[in-house]
Homo-oligomer: A and B are copies of this chain.
Amino acid sequence: MNLGDRKRLILQAIIEDYINTAEPVGSRTISKKYLTNTSSATIRNEMADLEEMGYIEQPHTSAGRIPSDKGYRLYVDQMMGQQELNKSQDDLIKREFTDTLGEIDRLIKHASKLLSQMTQYTSIITTPQVKKTYLKHIQLIKIDAGTVLAIIITDAGIVRNSVLRLMRDVPSDILEKISKTLNESLCGVCIEDIAGIILKDTDEGYAGYKEILEQILPELIQTLIYSDKVEVYHDGAANILNLPEFNDIDKARRFFNTLEEKDLLFNVLKDSQENINISIGSENKYEQLQNCSLITATYKVNGKTIGSIGVIGPTRMEYSKVISIVDCMTNNLSDILTKIIKY
């Protein structure tokens, strides 16, 4: 399995040249640009071996070699230098984020835009998952006769609201009392557990307005379930039109259609709960993505994973660069989010 130094160098040269040029790499190119002390003939021999081992392949007889998925994998796992972000890039990320103290969803979308701009690929992102966080505050506000606004704040700083319709009018002070009691019994409970708990506690502690509560609760639970609709956004889709692998209008169309399959993207992002996750070409579970590579990572609040971001690009991706950007991005995102919440 060990390749020998020269084979490694040749493989690396092929991969890096191909990442830059998107053209098959020939033995002569390598001999001229990378291994200047070795003749093209020798390199041809080595390349034949590498091809036999499955690290590179030939699109057709009289063309140079391109890396296979297996080749990329080896490259990512063993050969790729961890690229340092240059300071201006690093700064950019930091600056952009500190400018955006505000709604959490906006922050996430902003991150997505930034990510696609910096990588020049397409970014995908999920909004924070509410149900994994813990209730911090709940408040019912009367708007009209029969209309109540429920506000839910979780420990991840996520605010969700929903309008409840009631059959009859409920006075403000009763709503205030109900809010208080709900807070007392539910504060700190994980959102996904609330539905169960509310129902159980119905009998205790709400003496005097049980009837009203029975109207509010189902609606409220509905809201909680509803509010967990995680959304998937993408940004920079147009970037891929600049890549030669999508010059074919058909391939471009297929790519765009895949991007509109939100469920698929959601699953892809959900599956990768590693700190940072790299799927190369055929390694992808979904057929539509098997000519792409995906780099995904999760963002956290207080160490708790609440969402994911990622980059989709061609298998010929600038792995090193993208990985460091995604990494830096999630770190900053998690930092800022945690700060926003903690203050």
Residues of A within 8 A of B (CB): 102-103, 136-137, 139, 141, 143-144, 146-147, 149, 151, 153, 157, 159, 161-163, 165, 226, 237-238, 241-242, 247, 249, 252-253, 256-257, 259-260, 340, 343
Contact = CB atoms under 8 A, between A and B. Distances in A.
B143 A136 contact: yes
Contacts of A249: 241, 247, 249, 252
A153 B143 contact: yes
Contacts of A257: 238
Nearest to A180: B172
Q: Is the interface of A mostly helix, strand, loop or mixed?
A: mixed
Contacts of A165: 343
B143 A151 contact: no
Given A141-B153, A147-B343, 7 more contacts: A139-B141, A141-B151, A146-B343, A149-B151, A241-B249, A241-B256, A252-B252
Given A151-B149, A159-B149, A159-B161, A242 B238 contact: no
Contacts of A153: 141, 143, 149
Nearest to A260: B238
B149 A143 contact: no
A158 B182 CA distance: 25
Nearest to A102: B226
A2 B294 CA distance: 61
30 contacts: A102-B162, A103-B162, A136-B143, A137-B143, A137-B149, A139-B139, A139-B141, A141-B151, A143-B153, A144-B343, A146-B343, A147-B343, A149-B151, A149-B153, A151-B161, A159-B163, A161-B161, A163-B340, A165-B343, A237-B256, A238-B253, A238-B257, A238-B259, A241-B249, A241-B252, A241-B253, A242-B253, A249-B249, A249-B252, A252-B252
